[in-house]
A = this chain, B = another copy of it.
Amino acid sequence: MRTVPLAISMGEPAGIGPDLILQIYAQRQARDIPAFIVYGNVEFLRARAERLGLMINIIASSPENAPRDFKTSLPVFDMGTGIIDSPAQPDAKGAQLVIDSIAKAVGDCQAGLCRAVVTAPLNKAELKKIGFKHPGHTEYLADLCAENGNVPTPIMMLAAESLRVVPLTIHVPLAKVPSMIKHDMIVENVTIIDRDLRTHFGIASPRIALTGLNPHAGEEGAFGLEDIEEIIPAIAELKSAGVDASGPYPADTAFHLPNWNRFDVVVAMYHDQALIPIKTVAFDHAVNVTLGLPIVRTSPDHGTAFDLAGKGNANATSMRAAINLAQKMSVSQ
């Protein structure tokens, strides 16, 4: 019995997010899609469905009614006004809806009305224009989840069927990365990763591999000292706390395909080190998961793709994987 639905924030109206949601709802029976409610605008979604030629009944609903409604109609928590169906033409009203719908979806999830949040892509440039201060989804979600002023540490994980990766640093210049790789930061992050893999992925003792920062993990200090001074002691501390952490492994061999089954997650030191292997091999299938939050949150690993919006040929693989993974991660709900 599915009594608690997933919450999906509709994302940028001018992008492919609404298209993907509508396409996936249309396939709900063939693909056994779990019940969800969209945080967005009913009139807009009706117009987009018509543009795509999808015969879908779209109704205003609530988290409580969504599981029942989902069988026959796409349930929408109706927000926003004047949202125009204009693919590739973002505007301020759409941007405000994006911001508000994420907040409402997160709130309903924290209140136990929804089991997890799946976010469709947003357009940072458009959001910035109306005063959005966060670098992206992840930081906004962390802020929304703050309790008594304590903002949780969000951790981005990319998950494909056969590989999960976490970049310990993300959107920073490469020159700043080495000084950010510190013992305490590694321990804090890996401890959260370990906990969330236990609680949300049902892995009793997650096998966590860490890459080195430098080529060949520094080759015993020949190419940089961070591996010896920061990463190795952090792994030792994690081990003594009962975490099955190992490494640092040279990053160029850590992702060799036969190694993918040896670890439940590979924690890499920076953006490209983590994202090159997963995007090279699992471009369409990777799901973005935010660990470290009191709620479960996933999203597809792509952007708004304005050039494909409203055309009906956007690839729904990653969004569908995000929905299925959110359902699985929140199985105890």
Contact = CB atoms under 8 A, between A and B. Distances in A.
Nearest to A273: B272
B271 A252 contact: yes
Given A257-B283, A281-B281, A283-B257, A214 B174 contact: yes
Contacts of A176: 224
A111 interface: no
A224 B175 contact: yes
A173 B224 contact: yes
A2 interface: no
Interface string A79-121: 0000000000000000000000000000000000000000000
Contact of A271 (B215, B271, B275): B215
Q: Give the interface size bracket for A toward B.
A: 35 or more
A10 B258 CA distance: 29
Given A173-B224, A174-B214, A255 B273 contact: no
A148 interface: no
Contacts of A331: none
Contacts of A215: 170-172, 174, 270-272
Given A177-B174, A283-B256, A251 B224 contact: no
Which residue of A174, A251, A252, A257 has the most chain B CB atoms within 10 A of its CB atom?
Answer: A174
A178 interface: yes
Interface string A212-235: 011110110011111000000000
Given A173-B178, A174-B178, A178-B173, A252 B275 contact: yes
A253 to B, nearest CB: 6
A257 B276 contact: no
A279 interface: yes
A173 B214 contact: yes
A277 interface: yes
A240 interface: no
A174 B213 contact: yes
* Interface core residue of A171, A215, A251, A253 (most chain B CB under 10 Å): A215
Contacts of A226: 173-175
A280 interface: yes
A256 B215 CA distance: 22
Nearest to A250: B272
A125 B314 CA distance: 54
The 5 closest A-B pairs by CB, nearest first: A173-B224, A252-B275, A215-B271, A175-B178, A255-B280
17 contacts: A170-B215, A171-B215, A172-B215, A172-B224, A173-B224, A173-B226, A174-B174, A174-B177, A174-B224, A175-B178, A253-B279, A255-B276, A255-B279, A256-B279, A256-B283, A276-B276, A277-B277
Given A215-B270, A280-B280, 17 more contacts: A171-B222, A172-B215, A173-B218, A173-B225, A173-B226, A174-B174, A174-B178, A174-B224, A174-B226, A175-B224, A176-B224, A215-B271, A251-B276, A252-B271, A253-B279, A256-B283, A257-B281
